[in-house]
Amino acid sequence: MWRIWKLRLPLDDILKRIKIAIVSRCYCCDNPQHEETVQHLFLIGNLATSVRLYYTSVVGGIGPMVKLHQTVWKWWDFNCSPKLKPNKQVASAFICWQLWKRRNARAHGETMSKNKVIYYINQNLYHLVVTRYLWLKNIPQDWPQLVQFLEGYKPIMKIRRVQWRYPIVRWYKCNTDSALRGNPGACSATFYMRNNEGDVVFSSARRLADTTNICAEAAAI
């Protein structure tokens, strides 16, 4: 994506710009009549258009775009459910990546169908969800179902009452806590000792060196 963004892929329009003379034909079309350009390969060529349509048609709000940079931004910025958001943000990168891999395969004499490209992109998106949300079951592998699944996801709420209890006679109870500004960030930790009447018998607090929330809680203990 960085190379696309900076126009640093060895595509014909870019090579021409740095004065390397070539007869340009794209690898993405079956009957190539087009020069190979970044815009053609990733956005406006037949294959790119058709692959992108498969992804945009189910999310809404990302119409056909004129510029690749604009398209990437649109995918990145677009508002949707928090569960779907990370997938939407990278979808554009996965699309470009697989289009690029198909282009290279064809440049070296191999073939790859549009369905195969979509299959690979779907696999990328699916694996992202699997690794990110380990607790989710029955995650669909196709984009339209995946969008529906993540948009409609409702977390299961369980309510449990939590209560502070007095320690037994001759025992003390120690409660700890920490507070941070940012994570990692400036932090402090504190603890309270209480007897079986619930009275504070000792307490202390101190500033700690900047650290993470987990380390701060551990330091408090």
**Contact positions toward Zn ion, by CB under 5 A?**
26, 28-29, 34, 45
**Kind and range of the H or E element at 179?**
strand 173-181
What per-residue string of b and e applies to 135-147 under the rule 16 or more CB within 10 Å gives b? eeeeeeebbeebb
In the complex with Zn ion, which residue's Cβ is closer, 36 or 87? 36
Start-end of H helices in 133-198 = 143-151
Tell me if 169 sits within 8 A of 196, measured CB to CB: yes
Distance CA 33, CA 103 (A): 15
- The single-letter code of the amino acid at 85 is K
DSSP 83-128: TTHHHHHHHHHHHHHHHHHHHHHHHTT----HHHHHHHHHHHHHHH
Distances (CA, A) of 87 to 56, 68, 117, 120, 150: 13, 18, 17, 14, 10
In the complex with Zn ion, which residue's Cβ is closer, 40 or 88? 40
Distance CA 52, CA 96 (A): 10
Strands 200-211 and 185-194: antiparallel
In the complex with Zn ion, which residue's Cβ is closer, 14 or 29? 29
